[in-house]
Amino acid sequence: MGREIEFGGIRVQIAPVDDSSRGFQALDVRLHHSQTLGNIPRGVPDVPRRVKVLVSVDFDAVSGWMGTGQHSRNCLSDYSAGIFAGRVGVGRLLRVLDRVGISDRVTWFIPGHSMETFPTETKAIVDSGAEIALHGYCHEDCTQLNSQQQEDILDKCITLAESLTGKRPVGFRAPLYRIGHETINLLERKGFLYDTSLSGHDAQLYHLDTGFPLDVVDYSKPASTWMKPSPQPRQIPVVEIPANWYMEDMTPMQFLPNVTNSHGFVTAEAIEKMWKDRFNWLWNWGPDGSGPGDFVFPLVLHPDTSGMAHVAGTIEGMLQWLKGWGPQVEFVTYENTAREFLLEENLPIINMPVLLSVTSSVRGSVLLTLFTLVTALIFSLYRVIKNRHIPGPWPCRISHHYVSLFDLFRQRPQTVAKWHRQYGPFVQIAPGQVSVSDVVAMRELYGTSARNPKSDYFDNFIYHNARAIFAEKEHLGHRQKRGLISSFFQATSVYMPDIQQPLRDRVLTATMCIQDEINVSGDGVVNIFPITNHYAWDNTTSLIFGPRHCSHALQGDENDRDLLARLKNSELWGALKYNLPLIFNLLKLVMAVYTKSTKYFSAENDLDTWAMQRLRQTTSDTKVSQDERSIVQTIQDLRRNGRSLSDNYLESEVIDNLYAGQATVTVALTYAIYHLSRNPYWQSMVQKELDDLPRNSDGLPDWTLLSKTPILEACIRESYRLNPVASGRAERVLAKDSRYGDIFIPQNVS
């Protein structure tokens, strides 16, 4: 007896083997259980969450048969599957990833043997924009190697990857996930950002630890000798990104004749269903099973397997299915995911807003007439409608004053970060202002290819909000002029003795200042900010004017310190000055009357006067050698060589570098010192790196050896990356219509 059952909007005729009602009931339950797993996310109210899909590809090819897959019965037929992976599978997968639109958001784990054996295919992977990470040399079992062998392999593969990409790889996956204690220690020592070989979680990142001991129970001994808990391993800075046998393609769908756990004849549809079931459950219940929440969804593919014709289509369909979930689901490289994990865990979230080019609005005035009210209402509705598709709090669509309130209370970064968690990677935070936290979009907006010029708002600089002289130039013209002195900041100039020696002297002076503060501090707490400000100010002015006419705040010059202190105080008023000018001017007037002085608001004008005075002194000083390198001297050399550069341009460069240089160096240095002071373990690692370097007569290592300190370099680079005043990273205006994910942003909007 048959029966018709409806599920998922489809009516199906069922004829079970068991003709009893119990058989129908059991089948009905199973069908509806399957329906529930697959469709709940589409039927319940959406809960904001952020899902990172981590697509990785292990380019094992022939190396898989040489290492963990080696067997005495392997033959040319087996190896030919590896040849297929290199010559056919890679190309197919690259085209699949390109059609899905995620080529540059994929991480390829490439054994060194594959890099050298298939150079053309490897170059195609690099050219796709993907991240390149390490996967051994010939897919060897790390647990069967001694420490020296593992280090030799890692060093060889690092060199290979650097030669391909121009950058040091930061990620590692142990071949066949066969990772041991020695491997973990080596990854820590080599300064790797992340590993992805373990299954301590399946949907969340965590910190790698040194690993539980692989104890084995000896039943021949008394039970009391082995009834003991395992000692807790030491957590290390390396991030662990989940790996999981159930989230890879090869084990179930690749036939490996001499591998015991090989299947090869599981259908691609069965694996796709398992992956979707996992995703649906995590979407509904989150990584801890308590309810919706952020999670990561790693997929491990192989060109050997996913490059096969009967699998490639399913893989492409799965990726398109994931992409179809909308802006809350994004494809991210392993490196970017690990860096965001560390950022969210330990470091302050700094908003880098992307600003609209049109920022006119009715500000700070009382609406006294009905006409003004109607006009304001119409204007507000226009603003709401214009970019209504961009998520964000509704007050932000009407007025920029809402986000300015958080500026005044110094809560803007935290507030915008909270909005991102609530609304997703694109948030409208004011009329004419959108904040972006999507990695791919930010790379395009802030990229070096200059697709998008700086917005008008950048002319005001984030903190002091005073229009720089150079801003009168068109963007392209200014960019061309800036290129004239860009070489001055390269290592070839900075390492020159007449530049390096004053900088080294200031390092020692700053260190002495910190030590003096420690000596007089009763509780060991040191206010580092004035010292880093003085250090940055003296270094910046030295690079601009040369050592004869720079500031000497670090050595105690009161005039230089006073000017810098007032400049920093004026930065506190930046948000108020730009967003609420009427209130700012009223406050300025009240302060001037109350204190009988305007010095609290005159720092920017005083700085311009001071800078022009130093500029005149530098250009008229006959004792300044032409070999003495500085920005002013560099421009003078260009003039002597026939370049037509006006005095206005020279003044523009001086003002621009003064503002941007001192702020950038100060914040980056303060962050680096602050975070190192909070983490003694990182201190010890940096100290060990420095101890291994030979010292010069002044007690400092040769600066050309700083490349030998990858951990310190990582700290400095991360601090600089998070710097909210880093030149060129803050605002971009879109030159053409653009679509980021599912968010359309029209021309002249950024």
Joined together, the tokens standing for residue 633 give: 């001297």
Q: Which residue has the tokens 């068109």?
A: 474
Q: How confident is the model at residue 120 (pLDDT cuts 50, 70, 90)?
A: very high
| Chain segment 653-691, per-residue pLDDT in tens | 777 778 777 777 777 787 778 777 777 777 888 888 888
Q: Which residue did the predictor score with more confidence, 11 or 591? A: 591
pLDDT for 489 = 67
Give percent of the chain above pLDDT 90.
Answer: 20
Share the mean pLDDT of the chain. 76
Mean pLDDT in residue range 439-457: 58
> Average pLDDT of 470-481?
52
Which residue did the predictor score with more confidence, 119 or 522? 119
Q: Give burial (CB, 10 Å; 0-12/13-18/19+) of 553.
A: buried
Question: Which of 241-255, 343-357, 539-553 shows the lowest mean pLDDT across its residues?
Answer: 343-357
The residue among 419, 418, 351, 434 whose CA lies nearest residue 386 is 434
What is the percent of the chain with per-residue pLDDT over 70, rounded to a whole number?
71
Per-residue DSSP letter, 453: P
DSSP character string of 364-377: S----SHHHHHHHH
CA distance 81 to 258: 13
pLDDT for the residue 352: 30
| pLDDT score recorded for residue 722 | 56
Residue 226 confidence (pLDDT):
86
The per-residue pLDDT for range 569-598, each reduced to its tens digit, is 776 666 666 666 777 778 778 877 877 777
Mean pLDDT of 210-237: 84
Give the model's pLDDT for residue 719.
67
| Interval 458-471 mean pLDDT | 39
d(C-alpha 35, C-alpha 392), whole Å: 34
Tell me, what's the pLDDT at 315? 93
CB burial readout 428-461, b (16+ within 10 A) else e: bbbbbbbbbbbbbbbebbbeeeeebbbbbbbbbb
Higher pLDDT: 626 or 49? It is 49
Lowest mean pLDDT among 281-285, 298-302, 443-447, 723-727: 723-727
Per DSSP, the residues of 670-738 read HHHHHHHHH-HHHHHHHHHHHHTS-B-TTSSBPGGGGGG-HHHHHHHHHHHHT-TT-TTSS----SS-E
How is the chain split among helix, strand and coil, in percent rounded to 5? 55, 10, 35
The answer to whether 592 touches 598, Cβ cutoff 8 Å, is yes
Strand spans (E) along 47-105: 51-58
Strands 194-195 and 171-172: parallel
Residue 519: the pLDDT is 80
- The pLDDT of residue 91 is above 90: yes
Q: Give the residues across from 435 on adjacent strands.
A: 353, 427
- pLDDT beyond 60 at 68: yes
pLDDT given at position 319 = 95
Higher pLDDT, 743 or 200: 200
**Digit-coded pLDDT (tens) for 367-393:** 445 655 655 565 555 555 566 677 888
**pLDDT at 385 (0 to 100):** 58
Residues 147 and 186: beta-carbon distance below 8 Å: yes
Question: In angstroms, rounded to a whole number, what is the distance separating the alpha carbons of residues 280 and 668?
Answer: 42
CA-based nearest residue to 562, from 553, 550, 549:
553
| pLDDT tens digits for range 522-537 | 766 778 888 888 888 8
Instruction: Please report which helix (H) or strand (E) contains residue 524, including its range.
Output: none
Q: Which residue has the higher pLDDT, 611 or 298?
A: 298
pLDDT score at 32: 42
Counting Cα atoms < 13 Å in the Cβ hemisphere of 371 gives: 0
Kindly write down the DSSP assignment for every residue of 260-277, as one continuous string: TT----S-HHHHHHHHHH
Angle between helices 90-100 and 309-323 (to 10 degrees): 20
**What type of residue is 311?**
V
- Structure-model confidence comparison of residues 363 and 690, the more confident one: 690
Whether the CB-CB separation of 455 and 750 falls below 8 Å is answered with yes
| pLDDT tens-digit readout, 537-547 | 888 888 888 88
Which pLDDT does position 387 carry in this prediction? 65
Exposure of 190 by Cβ count < 10 A (0-12 exposed, 13-18 middle, 19+ buried)?
middle
Query: Does 137 score more than 90 pLDDT?
Result: yes
Position 322 pLDDT exceeds 90:
yes
User: What is the model's pLDDT at position 40?
Assistant: 35
Question: Is 332's pLDDT higher than 70?
Answer: yes
d(Cα 634, Cα 628) in Å, to the nearest integer?
9
Q: How confident is the model at residue 458 (pLDDT cuts 50, 70, 90)?
A: very low
